[in-house]
Amino acid sequence: MDAAQENLGPMTRDLIEMFKKYEYHDASCFGHALEGNLHLVFSQGFRTDAEVERYSLMMEELCTIVAEKYGGSLKAEHGTGRNVAPFVEMEWGKKATDLMWCAHHRRRLSVCPFATLPSKGGSAFRFVGLSHASMLLSCSRLLLSLCHDLFPGRKKQTDSVFRFAARLDEHGRELKELFDPEYVLNPGVILNRDMDVHRKHLKPSPKASSLVDRCIECGFCESNCPAKDLSLTPRQRITVWKEIKRLEELPSKSVADTARLTDFKSLFNYYGEATCAADGMCQEKCPVKINTGDMIKQIRADEMQEGHPQANVRVSPTAPALPPTTASSHFCPPIRLIRQKPLPTFV
């Protein structure tokens, strides 16, 4: 969130009252006060319809407070995403949003990194996402007129920002077409006609183990993992294990669910368990001090119990050897290697 400095205090008080109203008792507001910038952090579950409804009502009121009451930016340092896409018009107004849609249909731009345009409520130029800037740039005269209307007395600043954003747009478009020439990735993350998209296709986070349930998949752990270039990272291990536990606990499994569970378990034997060094280095960078190695050790201990399907696994004399460069640079316990298969796409 972002607002003019003189509005930051009142806006923060309103946001605190909003969190109390919707019973987000662990919520916090922090950020860069001198820049009128706030980050909002709170715990949110999506396991029930009631939780989703509470989140939706809170988001609508949050956007109303920031964009309408205080004339601030809903994105500040970040791009839009599906969570904010339904509220673009609330922040920018119909005239600017219509320009974005016009340019969007003409050029189909979808994902570019960042650009600076002046925030309606901020005291300086804010990050609002190059994707919006890119679409607006195709209507250059109208954009400049709009900026001059919104920010009287800043003609030189808006002109220079426009020229800078134009250069970024050119390079961003080249990168986009290299990675996604058909423009099929991330549809609807910038502009979206569906006003409920922020409450749809929500990613579940099922419980799997008290050792790792606090994981929010930030990925800070990944750079410390010895196996990050061999198999899965700690974040991915946790995500896959959560999916396995979710599938196991389904009250009734479809044929597709059963096949998916079997496939995930088979893949996890090597990618998740056998290649984990369990050295705890992931914990050193984890904000909440999760040691993924402890989870893997628990899984290995469970497998050694009598009657467990993995209890009698022995090293196969015909197991394929790792390539010399891999074997010398990564830890791999002496366990039978399964046939290499592509990783599931969601990780």
Q: For residue 204, with 0-12 CB atoms within 10 Å meaning exposed, 13-18 middle and 19 or more buried, which class applies?
A: exposed
pLDDT tens, residue by residue, 60-70: 999 999 999 99
The pLDDT score that the predictor gives to residue 142 is 52
The pLDDT score that the predictor gives to residue 273 is 93
Residues with pLDDT less than 70, the chain: 103-177, 183, 306-347
Taking the CA atoms of 125, 185, 90 and 163 in sequence, report the sign of the dihedral they define: positive
Q: Residue 127 forms beta bridges with which residues?
A: 116
Q: Residue 73 forms beta bridges with which residues?
A: 2
Q: What are the extents of the domains in the chain?
A: 1-202, 220-329
The pLDDT score that the predictor gives to residue 161 is 59
Predicted TM-score (pTM) of the model is: 0.61
Q: Count the Cβ atoms, other than its own, within 10 Å of residue 215.
A: 23
Q: How far is CA 54 from CA 49, 61, 200, 278, in A?
A: 9, 11, 14, 39
Q: For residue 173, with 0-12 CB atoms within 10 Å meaning exposed, 13-18 middle and 19 or more buried, which class applies?
A: middle
Taking the CA atoms of 117, 120, 126 and 127 in sequence, report the sign of the dihedral they define: negative
| Distance (Å, whole) CA 63 – CA 78 | 15
The pLDDT score that the predictor gives to residue 286 is 95
Query: What token pair was written down for 314?
Result: 């022995």
Q: Count the Cβ atoms, other than its own, within 10 Å of residue 225.
A: 25
